[in-house]
Every structure is written in C-alpha cells, then in structure tokens.
Amino acid sequence: MRREDIRVLIIRAPGTNCDQETKLAFENLGTRAEVKPFMTVLREQDKILEYDIIVIPGGFSYGDYIRAGAVLGKKLITKLGKYIREFLREGKPILGICNGFQVLVEAGLIPGVEGKYVSLTTNISMRYECRWTFLRFVNKARCGPLSYVPRDAVLRIPVGHGEGRLVTDDTTLKFLIEEDLVVFRYCRPDGSFAEGEYPWNPNGSLYDIASLCNIDGNVIGMMPHPERAFFYWQLPDWTRNRENVTSMYGDGYIILESIVKYVENKF
C-alpha cells in the first residue's frame, strides 16, 4: 500500500483533547488522517472498514465519569463491536493513547482473552502525574505494528494521567508476560527497569507496564503520549540542545512511524 493512501481514523469524544496533535503527527508521516466525532462514526458505522488505522487519543472522554474510559469503552464495543471486530480480523491496527488505552481496556479489547482482565486505576501517588518518562521496548514478536521499533530501545515519552496504574491478578500478570503482551515498560534513563520506583514508574503499574497489546498483536494501548514527543521542539530541553539537533523528530516518531510502516508493507 502506498503511504499516501493509508487512511487514519482518529475518534474524538466529548472531553478528548489530544486529537489534533495526533492528526498532525500522522499527517507528517504522509498518511490521510481524519478526526471524527464519535457520534459521526456511529452514523457511518460501515465506513470504519475504509480506514487502515484507528486511533483513540488521549483526554478525558465523557469526563471520565464512572471511571477513566468507561463510557466510551462500553459505547465502542456495544455500538460498533461488529465493525471493530471485522476491522481487527483484517489485521488492521488500533492504537489507544492514555485515555485511549483506558477505553480499550474497558471495551475488553486488551488483553482480548476471555477470563483475563486488567484495570487502569488511580496512580499510587494519588495525584495527576504529568512528567517525562523513559520506556524500554520489550515486545519480542507479538506486536506486529511495532515490529520496526528497535529491540530494547529506550524512548523518552511524556505521560499525563491520574489513572494509569495497571493492576491485575497474579495469574493474568504471568499470562501477559509469558504470552509477550507487554510492549513497553517504564525504565530509568540507562534502560534499567524502574522496578516500581517513583518517579521512573510514575503511577505504580505492576511490572512497570506502560503499554500492552492484545493476543492478536494489533490492538495497542499505551499510557505515555507519543504524539507529544513527535517533533524535536516538543522536547523539554530542545532550546538548550538546539545546536546539537540532528533530527526534526523526537522519540514518539519511532512509535507512530512503525505503525504506519507496518500497514504500508502489510496491505
């Protein structure tokens, strides 16, 4: 597939606030990205299959009433489940960023296995965490859309959430690890895992999990925001290092470029 023919659907709901940054990033990658309100997507359900990538961006969809991502997550699977499942059966990727990750968990698309559930709950600090974090890419082969991210790459990506602490039971955690569903883990700048230590693990997630994929590898949820680290001028220290800048991109580019390249080469 030619990159300029790749269509990206970015679903916006009341309370979403990162849709335009996400659109700009995917447009910069040469794709045709569109932001559509959820109600419009509902009216045009069958058109979902015309897209190649679906993104649920960050924010506070429906005010995060009940709990983060719950309302949009249930609406997504009850009202659009038929087309979402067909989209995934075709091997196309869905990316959920921050609130989007919460939405995918609430919809049951991650981890996507009967009897295996995770939850994204209140940060262990009991406050909203907005800070730059380091992530280590640990997925071996399960997550095809991120197969172009270098193995063990350490990326600097920001977080901004109040409910990002991933929790689950011991059996499910073992399943996530053994089945290679863990995509990114929080780490220190040198790449060593955070081992729960704050602030390297900003929310207290079990096993330092920052990102998961589903059992088929094409649904990806991540708490950090790659669209907020896509360009070099979004980085917190770019003015101090402007003389040493060798690329117009930050580490978020690596993640989104991998997803686009995967679609480009697969379809």
Domains of the chain: 3-266 (3.40.50.880)
At residue 25's C-alpha, the angle toward residues 136 and 72, to 5°, is: 80
Our answer to whether residue 227 is catalytic in this structure is yes
Q: What percent of the chain has pLDDT over 90?
A: 95
Phi, psi of 70 (to 5 degrees): -65, -45
pLDDT, position 238: 84
CA distance to 9, 63, 80, 84, 160, per residue, from 40 (Å): 12, 19, 12, 15, 27
Contact criterion met (CB below 8 Å) for 253 and 230: yes
pLDDT of residue 244: 75
Q: Pseudo-torsion of CA 161, 163, 169, 170, nearest 10°?
A: 30
Query: pLDDT at position 237, please?
Result: 87
* Model pLDDT, residue 163: 97
Of these residues, 21, 106, 163, 227, which one is catalytic?
227
Residue 189, Cβ density class (10 Å: 0-12 exposed, 13-18 middle, ≥19 buried): exposed
State the average pLDDT over residues 63-88: 96
Which amino acid makes up residue 5? D
CA-wise closest residue to 221 among 132, 139, 131, 151: 139
What are the residues facing 221 on neighbouring strands?
96, 212
Q: What is the pLDDT of residue 246?
A: 76
CA–CA dist 42, 32 (Å, integer): 20
| 224-263 confidence digits (pLDDT tens) | 999 999 999 999 988 887 777 778 999 999 999 999 999 9
Neighbour count for residue 236 (Cβ, 10 Å): 11
The secondary structure of the chain in percent helix, strand, coil, rounded to multiples of 5, reads 35, 25, 40
Is residue 84 within 8 Å of residue 48, measured between CB atoms? yes
Predicted local distance difference test score (pLDDT) of residue 38: 97
The letter for the amino acid at 20 is: Q
Among 33, 203, 60, smallest CA distance to 135 is for 203
Given the residues 18, 187, 225, 264, the one annotated as active site = 225
What is the rounded distance in angstroms from the CA atom of residue 132 to the CA atom of residue 143? Answer: 24
The model's pLDDT over 20-43, given as tens digits with 9 standing for 90+, comes to: 999 999 999 999 999 999 999 999
Catalytic residue (choose from 18, 98, 143, 213): 98
The mean pLDDT value for 203-223 works out to: 98
The tens digit of pLDDT for each residue in 150-188 reads 999 999 999 999 999 999 999 999 999 999 999 999 999
pLDDT of residue 240: 84
- Model confidence, pTM: 0.97
